[in-house]
């Protein structure tokens, strides 16, 4: 092992220790991930592979420590989750899912990320914004369906994440609330067999982005997710869908340290 690599690894270890020691200052993750009125942003980046490959290992590590520094700098106000897309998606190499009480806090993080030593190697592929809201149709569902929706998901890590932007037709928004509620009850019934194995979170995007919704999924069983989508394509509500994906983003959930280790190679 070269001296420069040893030096780089030492610096990385020191920064990891610094990041861990400041974790108590982090934003309230549970609150930002469960309460309504929180902004969710999905930012996809591609790594300039040709330029990145020219960097020696020690330089790569130093660049990646700047990523850790930016996360630490903003962790008091935003929740940041990372996903590795490389090898599973042609949309890019990395996905950042960011939650914040104010959208400008997400903007500040992304600006600092892009201006960091690591960020200079990133190309922005796409950014989508949404807002969490209280369920619109669920309060009118039968009690048994409500109970089924509260089924606890299977324990253990769910390594796969899928992000799907969705846009509804003008006809959908023109339907009265009662008709939409009936179709959403059918939609929900189709999802119940997969509640334990596929976690879902919905973001409302109308007026914030080009799509109406962002559907985010986590699972350890991609076959169940595949079957879930097939089931949803059969319900009446799907006929009013004008965009489903384009793109569909598929990746694996990674810790910050795992991303640093993988990209340092």
| Catalytic status, residue 3 | no
Contact 83, 256 (CB under 8 A): no
| Distance of alpha carbon 117 from alpha carbon 82, whole angstroms | 18
State the Cα–Cα distance between residues 125 and 117, nearest whole angstrom.
Answer: 18
Separation between Cα atoms, residue 58 and residue 11, nearest integer Å: 9
From the list 167, 200, 239, 242, the catalytic residue is: 200
157: closest CA among 228, 80, 27, 255? 255
Q: Measured at the alpha carbon of residue 158, what is the angle toward residues 152 and 161, in degrees to the nearest 5?
A: 115
CA angle 55/53/86 to nearest 5° reads 130
Active site positions, annotated: 200
């Amino acid at each position: 092992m070269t001296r420069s690599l040893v030096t780089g690894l030492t610096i990385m270890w020191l920064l990891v220790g610094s990041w861990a020691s400041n974790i108590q200052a982090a934003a309230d993750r549970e609150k930002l991930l469960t309460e309504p009125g929180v902004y969710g942003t999905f930012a996809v980046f591609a790594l300039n592979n040709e330029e990145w490959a020219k960097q020696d290992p020690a330089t790569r590590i130093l660049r990646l420590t700047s990523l850790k520094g930016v996360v630490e700098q903003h962790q008091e106000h935003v929740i940041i989750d990372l996903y590795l897309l490389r090898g599973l998606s042609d949309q890019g190499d990395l996905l950042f899912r960011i939650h914040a009480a104010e959208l400008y806090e997400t903007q500040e993080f992304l600006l600092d990320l892009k201006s960091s030593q690591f960020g200079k190697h990133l190309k922005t592929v796409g950014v989508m914004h949404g807002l969490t809201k209280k369920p619109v149709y669920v309060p009118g569902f039968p009690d048994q369906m409500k109970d089924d929706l509260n089924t606890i998901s299977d324990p253990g890590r769910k390594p796969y994440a899928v992000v799907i932007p969705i846009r509804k037709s003008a006809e959908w928004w023109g339907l009265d609330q009662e008709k939409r509620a009936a179709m959403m009850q059918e939609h929900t019934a189709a999802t119940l067999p997969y509640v334990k194995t596929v976690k879902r979170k919905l973001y409302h995007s109308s007026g914030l982005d080009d799509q109406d919704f962002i559907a985010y999924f986590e699972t350890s069983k991609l076959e169940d997710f595949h079957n879930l989508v097939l089931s949803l394509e059969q319900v009446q509500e799907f006929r009013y869908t004008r965009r489903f994906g384009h793109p569909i983003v598929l990746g694996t959930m990674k810790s910050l340290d795992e991303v640093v280790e993988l990209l340092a190679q």
